[in-house]
Structure 1
Amino acid sequence: MNTTEAYNSIKKILLALPEAERHTILGRLSTTMKTHNSSAELLEKCRQSKVADDRMVCPKCGSVTVVRNGRKGGRQRYLCKNCRKSFGDTHGTLFFHSRLSADTWDKLISLVVLNRSVREIARDLHIHKNTALFNIHRICTMLEQYANIDGEFTSIVEADEWYYPLSFSGMRDKEFFIYRLGRMPRHNRTRSEKIQYLEDAGVDTSILDSIDQDSDLPSASKQARFLNNLVSEEKHKRGISNDLIAVLTCVDRNKSNITLPSCLGRITTKHITDGLGDSFADDAVLVTDSHSAYRGYAKNNGIHLEQIPSGQHSKGPFNLARVNSYHSRLSDINHHHKVVASKYCAGYFALYQWQDRHRTETTKVKKEHILDMACSKIKLFQRKHYGRRLLPFDTKGIVTTPV
């Protein structure tokens, strides 16, 4: 059957259908063709990222002795004659081992740029919320590799800390909370439910029944005090404490910024040095509040420092208006994502930082930027390493193992 005969046959079938069914079929055909075109464009972008001098390059050994090696699932495969490894167009990109279609990825990135929540993304894309969350984390991990690579600061730089709640969302290990953190998970529970939680964690709670909380306990009753503290420890501590992550932020007048999770509680000179290193040019000026940690960092690195005295808003031409405005925008973006588990916070801070740098661009332009990065070679975590990981900041000895 040639093209003309096929067209006439399809036309005859469509005209024989009721008008409503005809429009439904045409709409589905249009969507299918659009998805097919999107997939073809995406695969071509991924393929071009592996081409140098019009020759395919092996992403594993860098050899150009690459030949075609059949097709799998409709996609072209390649074989490297040097290392004898095979690979596909999406190898080493954001879409490697992904079952989502190109059209779904396109919509997912648009929704991430618009700061939609995980549940909203899952609902709009008709996917499971765990699938949505996993791929959002992949996007954040990718952006983390592109963060803080603008070079050094060359103008007036304002620096300050932004505090973010410590979260162990998703952690179900009772012994971790009781014996490592020394507190209960912060969920609404009755006293009997808290006692049951302790018993499930292997704690002997029989002494609680004989404790009068209004009386002074003898010094020998350390276990009783410990149990009472576990039961009563629910609210976040006031002020700067180990319940907060100090996020080091820097903003200059060229719209460059840095957003780095540094440590729990109050920041020190060591944390600032580890985060900023030698990011300042010789003629740069660092503007901070009166925190002594910045004085130590500036002195050790020969940086001109201007500190705003406590209780004042400015010092001559210097102030912290830009970094305070940046903190306000970070809070607005974070409001949409709520509080994420702290083991993933570095990726989300990279997402916040990237969004702020491109805040004047349209959603379409920002989506294209992310797609271009996604089609290039990046390093992503494997699914088997998705759950447990080290916290990406100094926990000051509180948590030393993957969570």
Structure 2
Amino acid sequence: MSVQSGVVALEHTRFEQFRQDILANATPEQLIKLILEAQTELRTKTVKALTAMRTLALSESRICPHCSGKSIHRHGRDANGRTRFRCVGEDGCGRTFGVLHGTAFHRMRKPECWVPYVEKLLEGLPLTRIVEAGVGVSRHTAWRWRHRFLSVLSISPQPKLSGIIEVDEKYFPTSYKGSRGWKRGDPPEDRPPRYRGSGALKRGLSGEQVPILTAVDRNRNHLNRVLGVRTVKAVLAAMSGALEPQSVICSDAFQGYQKLAEATGSAHHVFIPKKPTPEEKAVGLPIGREGALGLGRINSWHELMETRFNRTHRGVSTARLPSYLTMLVSIHGERLQPEGAMKRVMERLVAPRPRSSPTPMRN
């Protein structure tokens, strides 16, 4: 046995003895206190570990985010103990920057709140319940952090859909939630303000509604695209490169899906909902549909989408739809964990953000 392995075994023995003493002698109040302190320390170490990974990546690449020079060196630490860098050399710009510069965490305060906040965000909680959970941030900060994180997660690579793929659209009324145009006298649309739950003024599908193109396969891969209008050209552009060739596409009779199947060399199955007659309802309707194909998964996804957007968040602004679609996929599609989400956010470089943000509305 080497010296290093002997030290590891000794530390393990001490930890086991320490753990058994705590379980045998600690009171319930002491155990609860220990659990809370351990959770806080674990969250802090998660942030420190991600910051250390970012520091190591910068030290190896030595690329300046300001001028793209390749001669940066460590330049002390900031007030939180995180490493700072400086661009030096003949072609260097001489500017200094922190290890989080260029990430969504740049200029974010309260690092001890990042992990618990992301945990509540991935639970899909509305802002009020996030604040009530004791995360440690105000409602306005929770709103700003939500869209800061989601805007970065939304640029993640989109996995290709394959196998049996169900495709359809979901429509939501055009919403300018948060806009003060009607108050200022320059409304974004020539119509009276639409209050929560009132819906569109015209019946059926019209220009007052925004289509969201959605697709899901049997491997829990999802695609969601906000379209300006549902046309064949728009559908083909939104689905370009997102489907594996030789797949099976299940959809309604819209011509764009037939063109999509032809472009990808895929089989196309059309499903038209049948409206049951009163006589059929009286004798009872069959459960499900015969065969393995159908639109059950995409219909369930649309129901989940409507529940999240219209009930949990009390309506979503059209401008914010891509962010909320990202949150929906992260929670119910990828089932992303807080540590994985923070790691992905830390690795994505974004443009510097302004210090101020619009005032949030209730949701």
Trace 1:81-230 onto structure 2 (pairs within 5 A). Answer: 81=88, 82-99=92-109, 101-123=110-132, 124-146=134-156, 149-150=158-159, 152-174=160-182, 181-187=189-195
Which residue matches 1:294?
A: 257
State whether residues 123 and 331 of structure 2, in contact with CA within 8 Å, keep that contact through their aligned partners in structure 1: no
Q: Secondary structure at the match of 1:248?
A: strand
Distance 1:65 1:178 in 2: 51
1:36 CA displacement: 6.9
Which residue matches 1:4?
A: none
Q: TM-score, normalised by structure 1?
A: 0.67
Distance 1:253 1:186 in 2: 38
Distance 2:302 2:190 in 1: 31
1:141 CA displacement: 0.5
Which residue matches 1:319?
A: 294
Question: How big is each residue's C-alpha offset from its partner over 1:167-222, in whole Å with a ceiling of 9 and x where there is no partner?
Answer: 1111111288876522111249xxxxxxxxxxxxxxxxxxxxxxxxxxxxxxxxxx
Q: 1:36 and 1:153, CA in 2 relative to 1: closer, same or farther beyond 3 A?
A: closer
Which residue matches 1:304?
A: 267
Question: How big is each residue's C-alpha offset from its partner over 1:300-349, in whole Å with a ceiling of 9 and x where there is no partner?
Answer: 55443221135288686421111112222223333322212211111111
AA at the equivalent of 2:308 = I
Detail structure 1 runs of 4+ shifted over 6 Å in the superposition: 175-179
Q: Secondary structure at the match of 2:152?
A: helix
Distance 1:332 1:179 in 2: 28
Q: Mean Cα displacement is larger for which, 60-69 or 129-138?
A: 60-69
Say if 2:77 is the partner of 1:71: yes
1:68 CA displacement: 1.8
1:251 CA displacement: 0.6
Trace 1:250-265 onto structure 2 (pairs within 5 A). Answer: 250-264=215-229
Trace 1:367-386 onto structure 2 (pairs within 5 A). Answer: 367-379=338-350, 382-383=353-354, 386=357
Which of 225, 241, 250 is residue 278 of structure 1 equivalent to?
241
Say if 2:312 is the partner of 1:350: no
Q: Mean Cα displacement is larger for which, 321-330 or 46-55?
A: 46-55
Q: Mean Cα displacement is larger for which, 304-313 or 344-353?
A: 304-313
Which residue matches 1:48?
A: 53
AA at the equivalent of 1:48 = M
Q: 1:381 and 1:345, CA in 2 relative to 1: closer, same or farther beyond 3 A?
A: farther
- Give the number of the structure whose alpha-carbon radius of gyration is greater: 1
Q: Secondary structure at the match of 2:131?
A: helix
1:125 CA displacement: 2.9
State whether residues 211 and 227 of structure 2, in contact with CA within 8 Å, keep that contact through their aligned partners in structure 1: yes
1:247 CA displacement: 0.8
Q: Secondary structure at the match of 1:73?
A: coil
State whether residues 185 and 234 of structure 1, in contact with CA within 8 Å, keep that contact through their aligned partners in structure 2: no
Length, aligned pairs only: 308
Distance 1:128 1:52 in 2: 33
AA at the equivalent of 1:168 = Y
AA at the equivalent of 2:51 = C
Q: 1:236 and 1:111, CA in 2 relative to 1: closer, same or farther beyond 3 A?
A: farther
Distance 1:37 1:285 in 2: 45
